[in-house]
Amino acid sequence: MTMGGGCLWLTLRLLLLDVLLTVTAAGAGGGENAAPVPVPALFVFGDSLVDSGNNNNLASLAKANYLPYGIDFAGGPTGRFCNGYTIVDELAELLGLPLVPSYSEASSVQQVLQGANYASAAAGILDDSGGDFVGRIPFNQQIRNFEATVAQIAGAVGAAAAAADRVARSIVFVGIGSNDYLNNYMAPNYDTRRRYTPQQFADLLVRQLAAQLTRVYNAGARKFVVSGVGAMGCIPSVRAQSLAGRCSPEVDGLISPFNANVRAALDGLAAGLPGARFTYLDNLRIFQAVLGDPAAFGFNVVDRGCCGIGRNAGQVSCLPFMPPCADRRRYVFWDAYHPTEAVNVVIARQAFHGGADVVAPINVRQLAGL
């Protein structure tokens, strides 16, 4: 894959940012000693890219609570679809918060006071997305779970105004939409593609997403980070569908209208919802920079999963106790669908410190400080 001038400039900016982060951390005596941003909690909505274990106790085919998932995570397999940290794990640390517990495992009020993760593998914006995996928690149900958490916080804090202020100062991260394509629009057993053009489907999704974000706002949230869909055309499962193992521009073309619609919708929501701030994370652009010049980020394997079977290690995803690759830091993809911890850390740091070319109109650090 060749890289145009725009991607080259983005790569240079990301590399410079990485150097600055390293110098800053060293000067502060390490990231863990840096002054935390004054955010009381992080609330997470999404799918398997940020799920931390909500599917573990569901009758679901979408689970990752077994080795080698979690092989590089201190707690071992937890239900994270990764070898280690997800994007929101790294964001929590950057915000000076503990790792956010999954909603299904948050057993105390003290835990949810610092946030909760409602994300569920195979979940989508649409309730019927991901149905092939049976059990999952769609975005609509995740929002109902958040509403229950807000009520729990109000009961714990006592004063309604204090509880509302706590939720309003918290960060909400939303990363969803991939399954509405992979496990709905592109799935052969769904008729969605025959009913909607790519633009019509994007319009449908974003209308629903805007209504859902408004519900989260009505529950008390005010600071939103909303991620676009990443480079799905280059994930190992899609590459494996080509005999040559190539990326699919057609697949990335399907999601382009969605990402464009999300950005426009966030601007409209920010203008119409008093006190709300919305930041868009351009996950696709960051992925394009990594895939365009992987060596610049320390990667040298971009076309296959670290754990999987078949062409591009993407025809069958990571099975229980399957030996993964040894040098996971060099791989972009962990399994047939998900990035490695190393990529997740890159994305999270760009979300937190990046410029308006990747996170706009402000980054997470600036959003947290408002």
Question: Which tens digits make up the pLDDT trace of 233-285?
Answer: 999 999 999 999 999 999 999 999 999 999 999 999 999 999 999 999 999 99
| Mean pLDDT across the chain | 91
Following DSSP, what letter does each residue of 116-140 receive, concatenated?
EE---TT--SSTTTTGGGB----HH
Verify whether residue 48 is a known catalytic residue. yes
pLDDT, one tens digit per residue, over 30-53 is 333 444 558 999 999 999 999 999
Residue 117 to residue 324: CA distance in whole angstroms: 27
Residue 229 to residue 258: CA distance in whole angstroms: 8
Angle between helix axes 341-353 and 283-292 (nearest 10 degrees) is 120
Which residue in the list 47, 48, 180, 303 is annotated as catalytic? 48
Residue range of the domain that includes 289: 5-368
Is residue 133 within 8 Å of residue 178, measured between CB atoms? no
User: What domain count does the chain have?
Assistant: 1
Q: How confident is the model at residue 3 (pLDDT cuts 50, 70, 90)?
A: very low
Q: What is the CATH number of the domain that holds 255?
A: 3.40.50.1110
Verify whether residue 180 is a known catalytic residue. no
Verify whether residue 338 is a known catalytic residue. yes
Which residue in the list 129, 180, 227, 338 is annotated as catalytic? 338
